[in-house]
Amino acid sequence: MTDLTPAAVEVLLRQHGVATGRQLTSAGISRSRRIRLLGTGVFDQVGRHVYRLAGTPSTLEQRCAELSLSHPTGFLTGPTGGVLRGLRRMPRASGLHLAVRHGIHLDLPAGVVVRQTTKIASVDVEQRSDGIRVARPARLAFDLAADLSPLDLHSVIDQLVHEHGCTEAELASMARRLYHPARRGSARFVDALGVRGGTTHESHPELLVAERLSARGVPVVVQETWLDLPNGKRARLDMSVPALRWGVEIDVHPGHLGLTGTTGDKRRDRQCHLIGWQVERFTSLDLVDLDGAIDELVALYEARRADLAA
């Protein structure tokens, strides 16, 4: 890398080994020098005026940087945008999804899924410091409606709200701006917003359990009930039936595993018992037999209701 200037190295490190010709020129690598570096195998050309440092590992981020720098008016979205943002329930092996304005014809490498759109606004795209252009949370939620089942879409919207700061107002605004009856996913997105009711589930298993219990007639509310415990602490239940002082905690986070996690959970349960609350726990192992676990929770709810009515 002796032919690269420190400024060029900085750009390449920041952008997963990829840079544009303009960036390299600004970093002190002239066009003639660039041509020489191509000839000696230091660079590979991966797009029009886009170069990759040879030998760097091929990663999802590097390929997304190549696409973003090669097509600066487009952006990564759909399952690709979801993976970049660490979203759950993303389809596997679905290619790189690049949104571009309708009518543009591009020469793209194999494995790129082009998603043409008539509407791209500044609020739709985040320009990352590593060169990647990715859909902002509300636009990503709308675009993913074409790729996910209704349940998975609901779960992902919850995650975008809870972890990525997406607001209900932004989601509603996106629906008003982009909805069209002929556009894939439009109706599903609007339906997902219609059934949310402002409720945010912190994990996909939480959504599964809440929906299954509600379908079985258990009137749970989610992330609403706070308890003032005798030890002076406050606890929020994942879901509950406040009228019966009955709750369910979804313990799928790794922090609930091991002696420290289980001891803390049991101590909190004892504190709940002291103020008359019965709390059931659902773990990741319960997902193996979800129907059986839901049957048990329903039976416990019915037993609690019968005890309080006696």
Condensed to tens digits (0 to 9), the pLDDT of residues 118-132 reads 999 999 999 999 999
C-alpha dist (Å) from residue 259 to 59, 256, 265: 37, 9, 10
Task: Report the range of poorest mean pLDDT among 34-43, 110-119, 185-194, 253-262.
Answer: 253-262
C-alpha dist (Å) from residue 16 to 43, 48, 81, 153, 307: 13, 18, 17, 30, 61
| Surface-to-core class of residue 84, CB atoms within 10 Å of its CB (0-12 exposed, 13-18 middle, 19+ buried) | buried
pLDDT value at position 286?
A: 80
Compute CA 63 distance to the chain's CA centroid, rounded to the nearest angstrom: 19
Alpha-carbon dihedral sign for residues 37, 41, 42, 43: positive
Greater pLDDT, 169 or 228: 228
The 10s digit of each residue's pLDDT in 197-236 is: 555 556 778 888 998 999 999 999 988 899 999 999 999 9
Nearest C-alpha neighbor of 204 from the set 152, 167, 166, 164: 152
Q: How far apart are CA 279 and CA 288, in angstroms?
A: 21
Q: How far apart are CA 203 and CA 184, in angstroms?
A: 26
Q: Which domains are present in the chain?
A: 6-56 (no CATH), 61-196 (no CATH), 204-309 (3.40.960.10)
255 secondary structure, DSSP code: G
pLDDT value at position 205?
A: 82
Task: Work out the mean pLDDT of the chain and round it to a whole number.
Answer: 90
Tokens of 200: 């945010």
Q: How far apart are CA 203 and CA 89, in angstroms?
A: 11
Going by pLDDT thresholds of 50, 70 and 90, the confidence category of residue 265 is: confident
Its pTM stands at 0.68
Please provide the DSSP assignment of 51-76 as one string.
EEETT----HHHHHHHHHHHSTT-EE
> Is residue 99 within 8 Å of 135, Cβ to Cβ?
yes
Q: How far apart are CA 196 and CA 45, in angstroms?
A: 47
Tell me, what amino acid is at 291?
D
Tokens of 196: 């949310």
Helix axes 150-164, 186-196, angle to 10 degrees: 60
